[in-house]
Structure formats: structure tokens, C-alpha cells
Amino acid sequence: MKEENGSGLNAVKDLQSLAQIGLALSQERQLGAILEMIVNAARSMTNADAGTLYILDSEARCLRFCIMQNETTRTKINAVTNPDAPIPEPVPLYINGAPNNGNVSSFVALTGNPVKISDVYSAQGFNFSGVKHYDSVSGYRSKSMLVVPMRDHNDDIIGILQLLNAQSAGS
């Protein structure tokens, strides 16, 4: 019974958080701040240690890095407000005309299907060289990953959100 009450309280807290986020988003006019709020909220609701957000550039047919937050490494990058920040290369949606299904971010952007991975180092089907490179230069250890499409009011995909390393509720 205690667990049910705890779950109920968590659901109420999540709904309150969503209402507060909705209000904050409706009042904010700066794109960089809005995108940071989205990543903050998603990380908070999922207990994710890190999160990145990429925006779809349909003209260039790629995903462009915008936001990175990593609690463990105390890293925050906002490429919208700081265009001189060190940012990863865009993720192509197509390679030689074929869908880039080897990259989890482009796969999610192209299909609209979320992807949940327990351990990127043992996962099959996607190329995680970018994640592994980040880990090697930062000392971080990416493990779990949830990648979800971001949609606009017309249900069109406008970007993707990656949440990394789910933490236990008490962490």
C-alpha cells in the first residue's frame, strides 16, 4: 500500500511539474532558454543524469546539436545562446541518399519511434561511436539511453531528445 501511495504522490508531483513547465514555456521568448527548460524537465521526470537535444534541419537534412546537460561532469552547453561552444557535427538523416538508420538519433527522427537502450556498449543495431568518443574524452560512462522524437503542434518531428543514464529515485 505504501508503494501505491508513493506512486500516486509521484504522479501528482509530475502533473504539477508539467503544469509549471507549461506556464514557464508559455512565458519564455528566448529559444535557448526554452530548449534548456525542456531538457531540464525531461531529465527531472526521468531521473536522467544527462540529456541532449537536437533540432531537425529539414533543408540540410540533418539534426543540429543545441543543448547538452550532464550532471556527473557538471557540463552544460547551449549552442543556441553560445554559438562558439564546442558542438558535435550535425547528424545526417541520409547517407548517399539512404536513411541513416545506423545512428539512433537519426533513426528516431526519421521513424518517429522512440528507442530505449539498457547499455549502449552492448547494444546491437546502432553505431554509438559518437557516444563512446564523448565518454573517452570526458571520462563519463554512458549506459542507458532513451531517445524520443520531439513533435510540434502539427505532429511533425522537429527534433530529438536523448536522455542518458537513468538514476534511481534516491540518487
What are the tens digits of pLDDT across the range 128-145? 998 999 899 999 999 999
pLDDT at position 48 is 95
pLDDT on residue 2? 31
Question: Is the pLDDT assigned to residue 15 strictly greater than 60?
Answer: no
Q: What are phi and psi of 167, to 5 degrees?
A: -105, 155
The pLDDT value given to residue 1: 28
Q: pLDDT tens for residues 81-130? A: 888 888 888 999 999 999 999 999 999 999 999 999 999 999 999 999 98
Query: Which residue's entry shows cell 549502449?
Result: 120
> Bigger pLDDT: 168 or 98?
98
Q: Is the pLDDT of residue 6 over 70?
A: no
Question: What does the pLDDT average to over 47-52?
Answer: 95
Q: Average pLDDT, stretch 70-90? A: 89
Average pLDDT over residues 50-71: 94
Between 55 and 87, the more confident residue is: 55
Residue 168's pLDDT is 76
What pLDDT, on the 0 to 100 scale, is given for residue 80? 87
pLDDT for the residue numbered 36: 87
The helix-helix angle for 2-27 and 31-46 (nearest 10°) equals 180
Average pLDDT over residues 27-45: 80
Strand positions, DSSP E, 28-156: 48-57, 62-70, 75-78, 91-92, 94-95, 98-99, 115-117, 145-151
- The grid cell for 78 is 547551449
Helix (H) or strand (E) holding 165: strand 157-166
- For residue 3, pLDDT beyond 60: no
Provide the pLDDT for residue 95.
Answer: 96
CB atoms within 10 A of CB 135: 16
Q: Would you state the cell numbers that stand for residue 77, as one nine-digit string?
A: 552547453
Q: How would residue 43 be classed by pLDDT, with cut points 50, 70 and 90?
A: very high
